[in-house]
Amino acid sequence: MNQDLSIVSLILNASWVVQAVVALLVGVSIASWAAIFRKIIALKKVQKLNDEFDREFWSGTSLNDLFAGAAQNAKHSGPMERIFASGMREYQKLRERRIVDAGTLLDGARRAMRASYQRELDAIEANLAFLATVGSVSPYVGLFGTVWGIMHAFTGLAALEQVTLATVAPGIAEALVATAIGLFAAIPAVVAYNRFSHDIDRIANRLETFIEEFSNILQRNLGAQSPSGH
């Protein structure tokens, strides 16, 4: 009854399959936490850059000045500013080709912004699939380790003439550690995935709203024949 039932001792005394499962889950957990912290930093940066450009956009600065600033700041701009630059670039290219039809100009700018929007969203959603996979698969990997450990424990007990709780408990405890670590890896990944999905949906809605607002501004400017300001 004096067996050491600490987690470290249980893992060290477990079968090699259980140890391999535990090592895999610990590695996956570390990778998921690294992805979580990177995503937190990345989303905060995206929101900050979007806020800064949104304030500048509605401050009364002309579209040409905003576009010039976006071109100079291309490497450090946020998604909203890059979407604006894509739309404005296409708009100006069409005008340089002597296209005067308002519908053609507006559709070209809108298509460019939608393409840029999709690229930005794909970049923002990076690593979400990994977190979803960790959250859904880790419990089953841990359960596999537990089932294997229990089978190994009962196989070892078959040679004993007398089986007591003291002889059964260590083997069962060693096996259950795999499930516990599987849940430890999965729960933070699921919570982070749900939180990030919510934040990304809000960012996506904001970018879509900006595309519509900027399209309306271009449409008004085309109607007034004044593409240089808003």
Q: Is 160 left (phi over 0), alpha (psi -120 to 50) or beta?
A: beta
Q: What is the pLDDT of residues 14-35, one digit of tens each?
A: 677 778 888 999 999 999 999 9
Burial (CB count within 10 angstroms: exposed 0-12, middle 13-18, buried 19+), residue 180: middle
How far apart are the C-alpha atoms of 16 and 14, rounded to whole Å?
7
User: Mean pLDDT, to the nearest integer, of 114-122?
Assistant: 95
Spatial separation of the C-alpha atoms in residues 180 and 186, rounded to whole Å: 10
Task: Give the Cα separation of 81 and 220 in Å (integer).
Answer: 20
Query: pLDDT tens for residues 31-55?
Result: 999 999 999 999 999 999 999 999 9
Maximal C-alpha separation, the chain: 96
For the purposes of burial, counting CB atoms within 10 Å of the CB of 134, is it exposed (0-12), middle (13-18) or buried (19 or more)? buried
* pTM of the predicted model as reported, rounded to 2 decimal places: 0.81
Per the CB < 8 A criterion, the answer to whether 131 and 196 are in contact is: yes
Q: Of 137, 60, 101, which is closest to residue 219 (Cα–Cα)? A: 101
Query: Measured between alpha carbons, how far is 51 from 45 in angstroms, rounded to an integer?
Result: 10
Over residues 134-186, the pLDDT tens digits come to: 999 999 999 988 888 787 777 766 666 665 555 666 667 777 888 889 999 99
Alpha helices in 77-226 (DSSP H): 79-96, 102-124, 128-157, 165-224
